[in-house]
Amino acid sequence: MAENPQPARYRPRTDILALGEPFYDALAPAAFPEHILRFRNDRAAAEIGIVPVGSAADSLPLSDEAWLDHFARFTPLPGSIPQPLALRYHGHQFQSYNPDIGDGRGFLYAQVTDHRDRLLDLGTKGSGQTPYSRFGDGRLTLKGGAREVLATEMLEALNVPTSRSLSLTETGEELVRGDEPSPTRSAVLVRLNHSHVRIGTFQRLAYERDADAMYRLVNYVLTRLHGRTPGGAPAIELVDEVVGRVATLAARFMAAGFVHGVLNTDNINVTGESFDYGPWRFAPTWNAGFTAAYFDHQGLYAFGRQPDAMHWNVMQLAVALRTIADAPPLIEVLETFPERYAAAAAEAMLWRLGIAPRDPAADRALADAVTAALAASQMPIDHFFFEAFGGWLPEGDDWTAFESVRALLSDYRPRSDRSHPYWSDAAPCSMLISEVEQIWAAIAERDDWTPFHDKVAAIRRMGQALA
Ligand code: AMP
Ligand code: MG
């Protein structure tokens, strides 16, 4: 993957407006006292035709000041949505239904066509209060914003379908939070996601018994997000597509050693892209009970429970679609989740191991053996994949738990060689909580952003080695 591909054309869209009023509320963004650009993702921007001043025709050249006008003051992008839209949705939060949520500190700012001809949303986090803010201030902490950038960069490099962070701006306010030292610094983030349609978007329409709007939403998702031509049973087709995508996402989380932390139905996108990063963590070792969110007392969204949590999520989508479809075919599609998850889990494991697939049964046996050995040995996950990339395991006492893996690997070929200089590093690029806290401490104590930007560069370098 080239670091600086040819910029795409700038192609604004307004597809969301076709859904109409019941899906959103138009509103004004917050006015912030300061705008200090902290992260500008020119790589992602180039894919939607937004470029630094002085480059290509057909694109939208933005100086840093113009960038802030759009991505911190939210002057509409030319030709796209004329006013920010807070999206309406409900959701199960830790499995209890909440009809009082919706975009409470973000909105849909713009839509564009990306370099792969897909509809892409530009959404915000921390852009001010909305009709759904309840008691919240509508703001994002700078630490929360920096953490979201780090999570998205790391997940993208590890081949996890994820939103991307386009822009992070510090906004000069003092925020009070119960779970961070306060007052704490504020920020506004712009994220790229191939839709912000969540399972909770469907749940709200079921709650409102609005079959008409449900049909429109199903059609919007199938045609504009999934690129399908709906047939005679659109609701079933939709669940089928979402089951496949969400099963893949769960599988990629596991191979990445990632714990999202809050897999509520309002955080699950029907495109199967992970987004909305709060208390996320990477698991140091393969420990199914490892939990990211301090408030997840039951371990509902613990590392090893993520596949089941995702299955439960798609079940809620099917329940919502009962508004316009019968139960038996919906259930039939839901029952395919475990099988599709298992296939995707093997594929994800082989990808991270840097080996080419062989046959489905053998690939699964290998993936299961790796999982069992990682759990039994408690070898650091990143260390294992760093050493094993390409399919050869080192010798030595540390590797005794991996003998069955070693035997199975002998039938596999590398999908990529180890010629990238990354593979000669002393240690893998990781993102454990201790390092996240160190990166934040440099910002909090000295306003030193060097470790943050160095880390993004190191992650992108790892991404090239893995690609
Ligand atoms: P989350 O757990 O981050 O997905 O958020 C759940 C709900 O709470 C969503 O409707 C958010 O928009 C809302 N929310 C979270 N933090 C705030 C905040 N500081 N101000 C207003 N709403 C918020
Ligand atoms: Mg959310």
- Closest protein CA for atom 7 of ligand 1: 101
- Closest protein CA for atom 11 of ligand 1: 104
- Closest protein CA for atom 23 of ligand 1: 104
pLDDT digits (tens, 9 = 90+) for 370-382: 999 999 999 999 9
pLDDT digits (tens, 9 = 90+) for 303-350: 999 999 999 999 999 999 999 999 999 999 999 999 999 999 999 999
| Alpha carbon distances (Å) from 269 to 44, 249, 276, 342 | 20, 10, 10, 21
Query: Position of tokens 């996240």?
Result: 436
Does residue 412 form part of some domain? yes
| Alpha carbon distances (Å) from 224 to 95, 146, 217 | 29, 31, 10
Rounded CA-CA distance 391/465 in Å is 15
- 345 contacts 246 by C-beta, under 8 angstroms: no
Model pLDDT, residue 53: 86
Which ligand is nearest the CA of 90, by number? 1
Evaluate: CB of 421 within 6 angstroms of ligand 1. no
pLDDT digits (tens, 9 = 90+) for 153-169: 999 999 999 999 999 99
Model pLDDT, residue 5: 57
Q: In ligand 1, which atom is closest to the CA atom of 278? A: 3
Model pLDDT, residue 52: 87
CA angle 50, 53, 57 (to 5 degrees): 65
Evaluate: CB of 91 within 6 angstroms of ligand 1. no
Does residue 126 form part of some domain? yes
The three-class DSSP label of residue 197 is coil
Mutation test of ligand 1: which of 93, 94, 133 has the most ligand atoms closer than 8 Å to its C-beta? 133
Q: How confident is the model at residue 122 (pLDDT cuts 50, 70, 90)?
A: very high
Which of 180, 196, 212 represents a domain boundary (last residue)?
Answer: 196
Rounded CA-CA distance 141/158 in Å is 26
Beta strands in 95-207 (DSSP E): 96-98, 108-113, 119-125, 140-141, 164-175, 184-193
Model pLDDT, residue 2: 43
CA of 310 to the centre of ligand 1 (A): 21
Average model confidence (pLDDT) for the chain? Answer: 97
Does residue 307 form part of some domain? no
Evaluate: CB of 144 within 6 angstroms of ligand 1. no
Model pLDDT, residue 3: 47
Residue 440 has pLDDT above 60, yes or no: yes
pLDDT digits (tens, 9 = 90+) for 85-113: 999 999 999 999 999 999 999 999 999 99
Which of 196, 217, 245 represents a domain boundary (last residue)?
Answer: 196
Rounded CA-CA distance 186/167 in Å is 14
Q: Which residues pair with 98 in a beta bridge?
A: 91
Does residue 396 form part of some domain? yes
Evaluate: CB of 173 within 6 angstroms of ligand 1. no
Q: In ligand 1, which atom is closest to the CA atom of 129? A: 21
CA of 88 to the centre of ligand 1 (A): 13
CA 269 to the chain's CA centroid: 9
Rounded CA-CA distance 217/23 in Å is 9
pLDDT digits (tens, 9 = 90+) for 228-250: 999 999 999 999 999 999 999 99
Residue 446 has pLDDT above 80, yes or no: yes
Does residue 52 form part of some domain? yes
Other residues' Cβ atoms within 10 Å of the Cβ of residue 417 = 10
Identify the domain containing residue 94 by its residue range.
12-196
The three-class DSSP label of residue 415 is coil
Return the closest-CA partner of residue 200 out of 135, 130, 263.
263
CA of 299 to the centre of ligand 1 (A): 21
CA of 128 to the centre of ligand 1 (A): 11
- Closest protein CA for atom 6 of ligand 1: 101
Evaluate: CB of 463 within 6 angstroms of ligand 1. no
Q: Could you give the percent of the chain with pLDDT greater than 70?
A: 98
CA of 133 to the centre of ligand 1 (A): 7
CA of 109 to the centre of ligand 1 (A): 17
Rounded CA-CA distance 300/340 in Å is 22
Q: In ligand 1, which atom is closest to the CA atom of 137? A: 20
Q: In ligand 1, which atom is closest to the CA atom of 262? A: 2
Does residue 100 form part of some domain? yes
For strands 119-125 and 108-113, give the pairing: antiparallel
Evaluate: CB of 133 within 6 angstroms of ligand 1. yes
| Alpha carbon distances (Å) from 195 to 179, 209, 259, 467 | 30, 23, 22, 25
Model pLDDT, residue 56: 67
Residue 1 has pLDDT above 80, yes or no: no
Read off the pTM.
0.97
Evaluate: CB of 218 within 6 angstroms of ligand 1. no
CA of 354 to the centre of ligand 1 (A): 38
Q: Could you tell me the two tokens for 278?
A: 């709060």
Query: Which are the catalytic amino acids?
Result: 266
Q: Could you tell me the two tokens for 421?
A: 């200089």
Residue 198 has pLDDT above 80, yes or no: yes
Does residue 262 form part of some domain? no
Model pLDDT, residue 7: 76
Domains in the chain, number: 2
Residue 24 has pLDDT above 50, yes or no: yes
Does residue 114 form part of some domain? yes
Residue 180 has pLDDT above 50, yes or no: yes
Evaluate: CB of 136 within 6 angstroms of ligand 1. yes
pLDDT digits (tens, 9 = 90+) for 455-467: 999 999 999 999 9
Evaluate: CB of 102 within 6 angstroms of ligand 1. yes
Q: Could you tell me the two tokens for 155?
A: 């997940």
Which of 145, 178, 196 represents a domain boundary (last residue)?
Answer: 196
Provide the residue count of the chain: 467
Evaluate: CB of 276 within 6 angstroms of ligand 1. yes
| Alpha carbon distances (Å) from 311 to 79, 202, 248, 307 | 39, 16, 11, 6
Rounded CA-CA distance 209/206 in Å is 5
CA angle 197, 239, 162 (to 5 degrees): 45
- Closest protein CA for atom 14 of ligand 1: 104
